[in-house]
């Protein structure tokens, strides 16, 4: 097996009203696909305005003990979470039709109910070096071992809240590396930066990214531009997410959300495909009954 990227200079771009099957077929082929104008103009303006202040008061860099993780988080990068508490527009995005259609198509049959890994604003500041290339399914190392044969364990949706340019740190991906059939153990192939292409986007566009594709945030070589991306990765409900939302969000806010929005932030039981009676329950009953939702 050779580790050769697909010979393309830009990722395929589709309009928001594209059939889900076509979006997913491009995702599978290239490892990434851009959805044009994923956000409306007012969603874009509002979410930026709502998150300006919490971002301004947030520290840069990582508080993690491990240097590897610090490098991954980025020394001049801000990562803001608990967005459902902070932003009414983010709460609207939890109910987005396109995201739900894509999530259902990716996970329902293979894995059962799905939820979000996190909702995170990633703002890469000037001078931040490129993030190490990685596969997002490495969140659960067993899938790195399984490699290409692993189930779909995570699919990132990265929404550009500012323009994403090569200079300001657009996400870089190795197109087609989701198909590299390596021995993922000691022989894992991490790719080379020269194999990557930038996912340049206008503000409001979104990048759908396979959990098996090698990618990373780009270096921000501008002197004064901050690259702002909102990531909403989707994963099967039987895997532990990064963000522990049920402990972060008040029930008053949760009650304002639709049932499917509540589900993807942990306020429903989880039903894995293949006969499991359900997980994340109370007294073997649906969690929503206990919560009065």
Q: Which two tokens stand for residue 131?
A: 């993030």
Q: Could you say whether residue 215 binds ligand AKG (CB under 6 A)? A: yes
Query: Are the CB atoms for 238 and 111 separated by under 8 Å?
Result: yes
Considering the complex, what minimum distance in angstroms separates the CB of residue 229 from ligand AKG? 5
Among 171, 196, 235, 269, binds ligand AKG (CB under 6 A): 171
Give one word for 147, left, alpha or beta, with left for phi > 0 and alpha for psi -120 to 50. Answer: left
* Residue keyed to tokens 């967005």: 83
The CA-atom distances, in angstroms, between 148 and each of 116, 158, 209, 212, 221 are 22, 22, 15, 7, 34
Let me know the angle formed at the C-alpha of 99 by 38 and 173, rounded to the nearest 5 degrees: 70
Which one of 15-23, 57-65, 211-219, 256-264 is the stretch in contact with ligand AKG (CB under 6 A)? Answer: 211-219
Q: Could you say whether residue 77 binds Fe ion (CB under 5 A)? A: no
Q: How far apart are CA 268 and CA 115, in angstroms?
A: 10
**Nearest CA to 90 among 47, 55, 45, 40?**
47
Among 136, 200, 205, 243, binds Fe ion (CB under 5 A): 136
Which one of 36-44, 51-59, 212-220, 269-277 is the stretch in contact with ligand AKG (CB under 6 A)? Answer: 212-220
| DSSP structural state of residue 145 | H
Among 32, 204, 216, 236, binds ligand AKG (CB under 6 A): 216
Which one of 14-22, 34-42, 93-101, 209-217 is the stretch in contact with ligand AKG (CB under 6 A)? Answer: 209-217
Among 32, 44, 118, 136, binds ligand AKG (CB under 6 A): 136
State the sign of the Cα–Cα–Cα–Cα dihedral 281, 243, 16, 255. positive
Task: Pick the closer one to Fe ion by CB: 50 or 242.
Answer: 242
Query: Are the CB atoms for 211 and 154 separated by under 8 Å?
Result: yes
Task: Pick the closer one to Fe ion by CB: 136 or 200.
Answer: 136
Q: Could you say whether residue 112 binds ligand AKG (CB under 6 A)? A: no
Q: Could you say whether residue 128 binds ligand AKG (CB under 6 A)? A: no
Task: Pick the closer one to Fe ion by CB: 43 or 155.
Answer: 155
Q: Could you say whether residue 31 binds ligand AKG (CB under 6 A)? A: no
Query: Are the CB atoms for 128 and 83 separated by under 8 Å?
Result: no
Task: Pick the closer one to ligand AKG by CB: 211 or 266.
Answer: 211
Q: Which residues bind ligand AKG (CB under 6 A)?
A: 122, 131, 136, 171, 215-217, 229
Q: Which residues bind Fe ion (CB under 5 A)?
A: 136
């Amino acid at each position: 097996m050779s580790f050769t990227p697909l010979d393309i200079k830009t990722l395929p771009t589709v309009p928001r009203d594209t059939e889900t099957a076509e979006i997913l077929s491009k995702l599978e082929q290239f490892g990434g696909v851009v959805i044009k104008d994923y956000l409306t103009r007012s969603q874009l303006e509002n979410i930026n305005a709502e998150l300006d202040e919490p971002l301004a008061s947030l520290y840069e860099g990582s508080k993690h003990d491990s240097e590897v993780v610090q490098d991954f988080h980025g020394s001049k990068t801000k990562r803001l979470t608990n967005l459902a508490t902070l932003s009414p527009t983010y709460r609207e995005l939890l109910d987005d039709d396109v995201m739900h259609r894509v999530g259902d198509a990716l996970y329902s049959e293979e894995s059962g109910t799905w939820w979000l890994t996190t909702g995170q604003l990633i703002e890469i500041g000037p001078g931040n070096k490129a993030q190490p290339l990685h596969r997002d399914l490495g969140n659960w190392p067993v899938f790195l071992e399984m490699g290409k044969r692993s189930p779909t364990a995570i699919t990132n949706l990265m929404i550009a809240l500012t323009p994403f340019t090569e200079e300001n740190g657009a996400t870089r991906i190795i197109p087609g590396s989701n198909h590299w059939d390596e021995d993922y153990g000691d022989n894992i192939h991490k790719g080379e930066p020269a194999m990557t292409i930038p996912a340049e986007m206008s503000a409001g566009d979104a990048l759908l990214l396979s959990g098996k594709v090698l990618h990373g945030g780009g270096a921000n070589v501008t002197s004064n531009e901050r690259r702002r991306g909102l990531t909403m990765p989707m994963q099967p409900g039987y895997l532990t997410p990064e963000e522990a939302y049920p402990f972060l969000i008040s029930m008053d806010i949760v009650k304002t959300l639709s049932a499917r929005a509540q589900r993807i932030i942990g306020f429903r039981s989880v039903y894995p495909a293949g006969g499991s009676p359900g997980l994340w329950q109370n007294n073997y009953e649906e969690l929503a009954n206990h919560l009065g939702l």
